[in-house]
Structure 1
Amino acid sequence: MTEPAPRTATSRAADTDRVQVAQLLTDAAAEGLLELDDYERRLAQAYSATTYAELDRLSADLPGIANTRRGACQPAPKTTLLAFMSGFERRGRWNVPRKLTMFSFWGSGVIDLRYADFTSPDVEIKAYSIMGGQTILLPPEVNLSVDGTSVMGSFEEETSGAGTPGAPVVTVKGFSLWGGVNVRRKKRRPNRHVQRD
C-alpha cells in the first residue's frame, strides 16, 4: 500500500482546508486580531486559494492562531430546528452543518450565517413554513441556490450578485403554506462580535 504524498507549500489545497482556514480567521476576528474589512478580505482569499502556501500566508501574522488546526475538517451533525407556536433563532458564532432542516408551524425562525463557522463546503437547508415565517441571512461571500415553492405565501430570495468563487455553496429548498421564507444577503456589522454563542 502506498502512502499519500506529503503536503508541501505548493500542494493543492482541498475544500476542507479552505473551510478550516476560514474558521481560523474567524477565531482571529473574535479575538480582535482582525478588523472587519481585513477579515472579509482574507476570508475571500481563503476561499479562492489553491495551494497550502496561499492559505498559510493568510494566518502567518496572527500570533497563536497560525497552524493551530490541522487534519480533516469534520462537518457538524445534521440539525433540525423546530418552532410549533413558538420560535427558534441561531445567531452569532455556531457550527453550520452540511444538512439543516427548519420547520415552523404558527411560529418563526431566524438563522444568521454571517458570523457562523461553515464545516462543509456544501450546505443544504430545507425550510418548511406553515402559517409562520423564516429568515435566512447569508454573508456576502457565500454562493447561493434557491429552489422553493409557496402556496398563498412567499418563498423569496433577496440577494444580488454572486458569491466568492470557492466559498461555500448554500442550497435552500423548501415549501411555504400561508407563510413565508425569506433568504437574503446582509453585510456583517463592523462592531459586531463574532464570539461563539
Structure 2
Amino acid sequence: MSTSSRQNGSTRAGDAERIQVAQLLTDAASQGRLSMDEYEQRLAKAYAATTQGELSRLSADLPDFATTANCGGIRKPAPSTLLLAILSGFERRGRWNVPKRLTSFALFGGGVIDLRYADFTSPEVDIHSISIFGGQTILLPPEVNVAIRGHGVMGSFDHVGEQGTPGAPCITIRGFSLWGSVGIKRKKRKNS
C-alpha cells in the first residue's frame, strides 16, 4: 500500500470502521450535536462508505473523532443474549449493544426489541424469536437490511421490506409463533 493512498484517505474502509463511525454519529445525535435528519443521512452514508476518507469527512466536525475512530483494533461483537418472557415481559430500548446472536422467547408473555437507537457490534445479526401464546415486537431502523425466515402457526410472524441501505447491518430474523405473534416494523427515530 502506498503512503499517498493512506494520506489522501483512499484506503478501503472495513465493517469495523463503518460500525465505529456509526457509533460516533449515534453519540453525537444523543448529545444533540446532530439533528435526527442529519444523523440518519450521515448514518446511511457511513454504511455505504468504501474508503476511510469518506468516513473521516462524515465525522470531521464532531469532537473526539480522532480518538474514537482511529483507535485501531478489531472490535468484538457483544456476547450472545437470551431474552425471556415467561408469564412476564422483557424490553430492550434506547442505547444498547446488539450482539451477533440474539434469542428471544415469550411464553404467555411479551417483549419489545427496539434496534433504532442501538449500537451494532457486528455487520450481521441473527435474531431467533419464538412466541407461544405471547407476543413480541421488533422495531427496525430504516437503514438496516433484513431477511425474515419466520412462520406463524395459528398466529402471526410479520414480514417487512428487506432492502435498507447498502453496507448497513444485515439482520436475519428466524423463528415461529404458535398462537402468538412476532411483529416486525420499520420505524423512524423520533426527533428529540
TM-score class, shorter: over 0.9
In structure 2, runs of 5+ residues without a counterpart are: none
Deviation of the 1:65 alpha carbon: 3.6
Q: TM-score, normalised by structure 2?
A: 0.93
8 Å contact kept, 2:147–2:162: no
Alpha-carbon RMSD: 1.6
Partner of 2:186: 185
Partner of 2:166: 165
Give the distance between the partners of 1:184 and 1:146, measured in 2 at CA.
Answer: 12
Give the distance between the partners of 1:118 and 1:183, measured in 2 at CA.
Answer: 18
In structure 1, runs of 5+ residues without a counterpart are: 192-197
**2:145 pairs with one of 143, 146, 153:** 143
How many residues were matched structurally?
187
Give the distance between the partners of 1:5 and 1:96, measured in 2 at CA.
Answer: 36
Partner of 2:25: 25
Partner of 2:122: 120
Partner of 2:92: 90
Give the distance between the partners of 1:66 and 1:170, measured in 2 at CA.
Answer: 29
8 Å contact kept, 1:17–1:73: no
Partner of 1:101: 103
User: Quick check: 160-169 or 76-85, which moved more?
Assistant: 160-169
8 Å contact kept, 1:59–1:66: no
Give the distance between the partners of 2:161 and 2:147, measured in 1 at CA.
Answer: 12
Q: Structure 1 vs Structure 2: percent identity of aligned residues?
A: 61
**2:98 aligned with 1:76, yes or no?**
no
